Amino acid sequence: MKIAVIGTGYVGLVTGTCLAETGNDVICVDINASKIEKMQQGELPIYEPGLELLFHRNIQQGRIRFTMDLQSAVEHAEIIFMALPTPPGEDGAADLSYILGAAKDIAALLTGYKVIVNKSTVPVGTADKVKAVFESHTSIAVDVISNPEFLREGVAVEDFMKPDRVVIGTSSERAKKLMSELYAPYVRQGNPVIFMDERSAELTKYAANSFLATKITFMNEIANLCELVGADVDAVRKGIGTDERIGKRFLFPGIGYGGSCFPKDVQALVKSADEHEYNFEILKSVITVNEKQKVILADKLLQYYDNEISGKHFALWGLSFKPETDDIREAPALYLIETLLKNGASVSVFDPEGQENVKSIFNNRISYAENQYAALEGADALLIATEWSLFRNPDFEKMAELLKEKVIFDGRNLFELEKMTELGYYYNSIGRKL
Ligand code: UGA
């Protein structure tokens, strides 16, 4: 099938590449000239495991191209995906200007029927707004449908190639047929393509992300309580996760959810509910609790040093908001660094992928280590903000030689308590005994 993807961010690029991989003929469009040039030269602008291989293979075999020319893409495609940003406006509501602007531009270039697919996370009613833009700018019929994306950064390719489910919001039989055909290779195992109306599909995405953010936040509060009552959150997690109604996944406490999706989407759903005069209380609490959780490691550290960390030096492992990504948007590590600097401490950081992105924020206010051990040299303590696999089984003896004191504040519960006691470390983690 002939496809256009407008917007080459994480979602657009993964969508375009994975659609090319099953034999579709894909054109990706972006307004960012330098990004398009780089991709035309075979350079992938993001780090996403598994994407590089597919990206190069499909460029080589001529199934994916990159351009700034919207007209050629619109002429080429029977299905046009919009994967454009919906940043939160000042009031937390999603800003639709990119999407509505692109709809207007596409409308002006139409020569025949197309399916316009919205992949971005957008408030309920957006498909209707996009439809209205088409209706007022062209007499050519289009179907505007909602097809929210559930991919996770770090495993995005796998999520796209083998989705748990595909959600498609449309009442048009013609669009349903085309989309069923397009997604058939991805759901061969029998995972469902769930058809529904546009508004339900739009709300499904917000409900999924908000539910997951609530699940994490609930566990973070259980963890905080565990510390006060002398329980172990790992045991509690296993104890409840084996109940199938709760499930084992997404129950890991930490230093708050971050990233480009959960914080923005929870805010937007609250805002959307407010606009309909519905007070979404549980989500309002989720936002408040998560803000507190993001600073919990800094709070623990300040408490340990009686609020006096001026002149101290700390090592920080992990900057990205989660492992296997270079994405640092809303990453708890950023708040941690800010707090340490504000209190007069210095910081040396290491992250396998997120380092470059952090440089653009902190420049020479912090130092950047070449590897995880170099970050420890002369540090008063180690802080851990992201659970990268390479941090899970470090050389504790080497660490003890490099650190001034054997002190670790771990925001991701990487190590066994018994082992740390045996090794003589002061080890402060989340929801577990000291
Ligand atoms: C999330 C959703 O999981 C995807 O389904 C969705 O498509 C995507 O947002 C989106 O809206 O585009 P992502 O932001 O990549 O994906 O990250 P997650 O793996 O969901 O993690 C989100 C945050 O929750 C991270 O900060 C992570 O550290 C935290 N988390 C996750 C926990 O603290 N504990 C857990 O048990 C799981």
**115 SS3 class:** strand
**Ligand 1 atom closest to residue 257's alpha carbon, by position in its atom list:** 26
Q: Is residue 251 in contact with ligand 1, taking CB distance under 6 Å?
A: yes
Q: What would the DSSP string read from start to end of 131-169? A: HHHHHHH-SS-EEEEE----PPTTSHHHHHHS-S-EEEE
Q: How far is the CA of 30 from the centre of ligand 1 (A)?
A: 26
The pLDDT value recorded for residue 120 is 92
**Rg of the chain over all Cα atoms, to the nearest angstrom:** 24
Asked if the domains 2-196 and 295-428 are classified in one and the same CATH topology, the answer is yes
Written as tens digits, the pLDDT of the chain (434 aa) is 999 999 999 999 999 999 999 999 999 999 999 999 999 999 999 889 999 999 999 999 999 999 999 999 999 999 999 999 988 888 877 899 999 999 999 999 999 999 999 999 999 999 999 999 999 999 999 999 999 999 998 899 999 999 999 999 999 999 999 999 999 999 999 999 999 999 999 999 999 999 999 999 999 999 999 999 999 999 999 999 999 999 999 999 999 999 989 999 999 999 999 999 999 999 999 999 999 999 999 999 999 999 999 999 999 999 999 999 999 999 999 999 999 999 999 999 999 999 999 999 999 999 999 999 999 999 999 999 999 999 999 999 999 999 999 999 999 999 999 999 999 999 999 999 88
The two tokens of residue 112 are 């025949």
Sheet holding 426-428, edge to edge: 367-368, 346-350, 313-317, 381-384, 407-410, 426-428
Protein residue with least CA distance to atom 1, ligand 1: 152
Beta bridge partners of 65: 27
Domain ranges of the chain: 2-196, 205-292, 295-428
Cα–chain-centroid distance for residue 144? Answer: 26
Q: Is residue 250 in contact with ligand 1, taking CB distance under 6 Å?
A: yes
- C-alpha 424/C-alpha 434 separation (Å) is 12
**Ligand 1 atom closest to residue 152's alpha carbon, by position in its atom list:** 15
Which of 18, 28, 226, 261 is the catalytic position?
A: 261
Q: Is residue 163 in contact with ligand 1, taking CB distance under 6 Å?
A: no
The pLDDT value recorded for residue 306 is 98
> What superfamily in CATH does domain 2-196 come from?
NAD(P)-binding Rossmann-like Domain (3.40.50.720)
Protein residue with least CA distance to atom 10, ligand 1: 261
Q: Is residue 327 in contact with ligand 1, taking CB distance under 6 Å?
A: no
Instruction: Give the E-state strand segments of 325-431 in sequence order.
Output: 346-350, 367-368, 381-384, 407-410, 426-428
Q: How far is the CA of 214 from the centre of ligand 1 (A)?
A: 11
Q: Domain 295-428 classified CATH 3.40.50.150?
A: no
Q: How far is the CA of 406 from the centre of ligand 1 (A)?
A: 32
Check if 261 is active-site: yes
The pLDDT value recorded for residue 89 is 82
Beta bridge partners of 409: 383, 428
Q: Is residue 258 in contact with ligand 1, taking CB distance under 6 Å?
A: yes
Q: Is residue 262 in contact with ligand 1, taking CB distance under 6 Å?
A: yes
Beta bridge partners of 143: 115
Q: How far is the CA of 260 from the centre of ligand 1 (A)?
A: 9
What CATH class has 205-292?
mainly alpha
Residue type, 253: P
pTM of the model: 0.93
Q: Is residue 428 in contact with ligand 1, taking CB distance under 6 Å?
A: no
Q: Is residue 160 in contact with ligand 1, taking CB distance under 6 Å?
A: no
**Ligand 1 atom closest to residue 209's alpha carbon, by position in its atom list:** 2
- C-alpha 218/C-alpha 198 separation (Å) is 30
Q: Do the beta carbons of residue 72 and residue 27 sit within 8 Å?
A: yes
Protein residue with least CA distance to atom 27, ligand 1: 257
Instruction: Classify the phi-psi angles of 105: left when phi > 0, otherwise alpha if psi is within -120 to 50, otherwise beta.
Output: alpha
Nearest to 358 by CA among 375, 337, 386: 337
The pLDDT value recorded for residue 405 is 97
Q: How far is the CA of 152 from the centre of ligand 1 (A)?
A: 6
